[in-house]
Structures are given as C-alpha cells and as structure tokens.
C-alpha cells in the first residue's frame, strides 16, 4: 500500500508533483528507485513531446577562476520568461556552469554527459523538463583562457560576453574588460579586427559594394578601388578594435584600451544572446 508519507518522501526527493509521485510509486510497487526512474522517463517523454517548441527564453551563466585567467559561459534556454526566473532553473544553470568549469569539459556534448552525483547533466535537465513541462536546452558553451578573462552579463541575463585581454602587464584590467564587454553587447562586432573576419563575409560585402557602385553609375575602372574603400568602412564599423568606443566616441576601442595601459589589447571575445 502506498502511503501519503511515501508520496511526500518521493516528492521531497524529486520535486515532482503529488499525483505524479503517487502514480510512479504505484507503478513501481513502492520501490523508490524504480519510481524515480519512472519519473525520469516521464521527463524524457515530456522533453520529446516538446522538441518542436521554441526555447527562446532563458539565462546566461558564467563561472570565472579566482585568478581571472579562465572562464566558462553557458546559455540555458527555456520557453518562457516565467521559467527562466524560476529558482530551480537558475540553480540548474549555475550547476551546469560550475560543472563545466570544474570538469574542464571539451565541448557541449561532453559537458552534458558529465555526472553530478548519480545523474548526468542531461538527465538532470530531463528531470526538470518533466517537472516544469517546458523544453530546456543548453544552447551555448564557451571556455576561454587568457592573460585576463573578464565577464560581462547584460541586464536580465539574456546576453553574456567573455573578453580575453592581453598585454595586461600585471595590472587589474577588470573595469576596462567590462567596458569592452559592454561595447560588444551593444555593438555586436563580427571579429576583433579585420584579420578575424570570415573570408565569405568579406567577399559578400565586396559583392554588395560593387553592385551599389555600378548602380550609381560610377566608371567601371573605379569600381574596385571604391569597393575597397567601402570594405574598410565595414571593418571600421563592424570590428571591435576599430569601432568608436561607446563611452567616448572620440576614441576607438583600441585607443581606449591603450589609454588605460600601454599595450593593452583584446585577444579574443565571445558574445552569446538568448532569443
């Protein structure tokens, strides 16, 4: 016989609803381990049934080393903002980021297969899916190292940035890193500088520029030169170090960093936005 105390015990252990716990225990003939497995399977079914849903809400979570030379960023997505603010969702996001940092997971698949206690992170996600009835997924996982790695999370935790700085010369460059993180969040640059821009994107911009120039009736022998000028303008507007610094437009980002500390520069950055 399944007692109310049994149901309450399983509910405390799993966080599942009372009726779900009662049904699971009845199906498992009172075996708690089997009941937990049944509840997990229910979560898997819920997850599968919601696989076509859009998970466009969620939060970004960041874990940084004490020496500020290493950080991980993960994005955990869900379907509604209500769930994104849920304490269990937030705790799961923090756990995934902490695990990624501690285990030094190689990639997202490896991370999701990391065990925490008796369950993998994938299984923990599935359990919460079963409880809340929404699709959950880790949409991004970034691990960054550098002389100084500075995190920036935009208001609402819907956008996160990691900035790796070089040439720090033993200085605390946290404030400068956060300023650059804010720049990246606001301006969404495509690369640190022109050398990091994808060749396909460069070819596309040149193609567009040439079409515009010809449409304007410019001489054919001038098209290439004018197109290269437009490409340089594209680099200025869309690569981080050449952009006008949002806090002081009289300087580029590169000039701002150099004014903070001679030789200070951006080695790398990653920007993750939810939605």
Q: Cα dist. 164→151, 161, 238 in Å?
A: 9, 10, 18
- pLDDT mean over 265-275: 96
Q: Other CB atoms closer than 10 Å to residue 124's CB: what's the count?
A: 21
> How sure is the predictor about 52, in pLDDT bands with cuts at 50, 70 and 90?
confident
The architecture in CATH of the region 4-49 reads Orthogonal Bundle (1.10)
Quote the pTM value.
0.84
> Rounded distance, CA 192 to CA 242, Å?
9
pLDDT for the residue 39: 84
Does position 163 have pLDDT exceeding 80, yes or no? yes
Instruction: Supply the pLDDT for residue 196.
Output: 96
Percent of the chain residues past pLDDT 90, beyond the cut: 78
Residue range 110-160, pLDDT digits in tens: 999 999 999 999 999 999 998 888 999 999 999 999 999 999 999 789 999
Helix (H) or strand (E) holding 94: helix 87-103
Find the mean pLDDT for residues 236-244: 97
Look at residue 1 in the predicted model and tell me its pLDDT. Answer: 84
Does the structure show a pLDDT above 90 at 42? no
pLDDT, tens digit (0-9, with 9 covering 90-100), for 4-39: 999 988 888 877 888 988 999 999 999 988 988 888
Which residues are 33's β-sheet partners? none
For the record, the structure tokens of 121 come out as 């992170």
For CATH 1.10.8.10, the residue range(s) in the chain are 4-49
* Cα end-to-end span (Å), the chain: 48
Output the CA angle 114-118-120, nearest 5 degrees.
Answer: 30
Comma-separated ranges of CATH 3.30.479.20 domains in the chain = 52-145
Q: Is the pLDDT of residue 45 over 80?
A: no
Of 92, 74, 93, 90, the closest CA to residue 141 belongs to 74
Average the pLDDT over each of 39-48, 83-92, 102-111, 265-274 and give the range with the smallest value.
39-48
CATH architecture of 52-145: 2-Layer Sandwich (3.30)
């Amino acid at each position: 016989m399944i007692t109310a105390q049994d149901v309450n015990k399983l509910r405390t252990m799993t966080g599942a609803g009372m009726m779900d716990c009662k049904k699971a225990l009845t199906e498992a003939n009172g075996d708690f381990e089997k009941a937990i497995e049944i509840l997990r399977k229910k979560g898997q079914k819920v997850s599968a049934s919601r696989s076509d849903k859009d998970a466009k809400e969620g939060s970004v979570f960041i874990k940084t080393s004490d020496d500020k030379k290493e950080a991980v960023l993960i994005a955990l997505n869900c379907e509604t903002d209500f769930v994104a603010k849920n304490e269990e969702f937030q705790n799961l996001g923090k756990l995934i980021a902490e695990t990624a940092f501690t285990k030094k997971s190689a990639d997202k698949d490896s991370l999701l297969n990391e065990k925490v206690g008796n369950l993998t992170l994938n299984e923990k996600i599935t359990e919460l899916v079963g409880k809340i009835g929404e699709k959950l997924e880790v949409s991004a996982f970034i691990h960054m190292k550098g002389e100084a790695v500075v995190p920036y999370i935009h208001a609402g935790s819907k956008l996160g940035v990691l900035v790796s700085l070089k040439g720090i010369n033993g200085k605390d460059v946290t404030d400068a890193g956060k300023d650059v993180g804010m720049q990246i969040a606001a301006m969404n640059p495509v690369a640190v500088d022109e050398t990091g821009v994808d060749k396909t994107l460069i070819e596309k911009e040149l193609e567009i520029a040439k079409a515009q120039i010809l449409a304007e009736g410019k001489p054919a022998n001038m098209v290439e030169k004018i197109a290269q000028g437009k490409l340089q303008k594209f680099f200025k507007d869309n690569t981080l170090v050449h952009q006008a610094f949002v806090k002081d437009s009289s300087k580029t980002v590169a000039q701002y960093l150099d004014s903070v500390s001679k030789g200070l520069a951006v080695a790398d950055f990653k920007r993750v936005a939810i939605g």
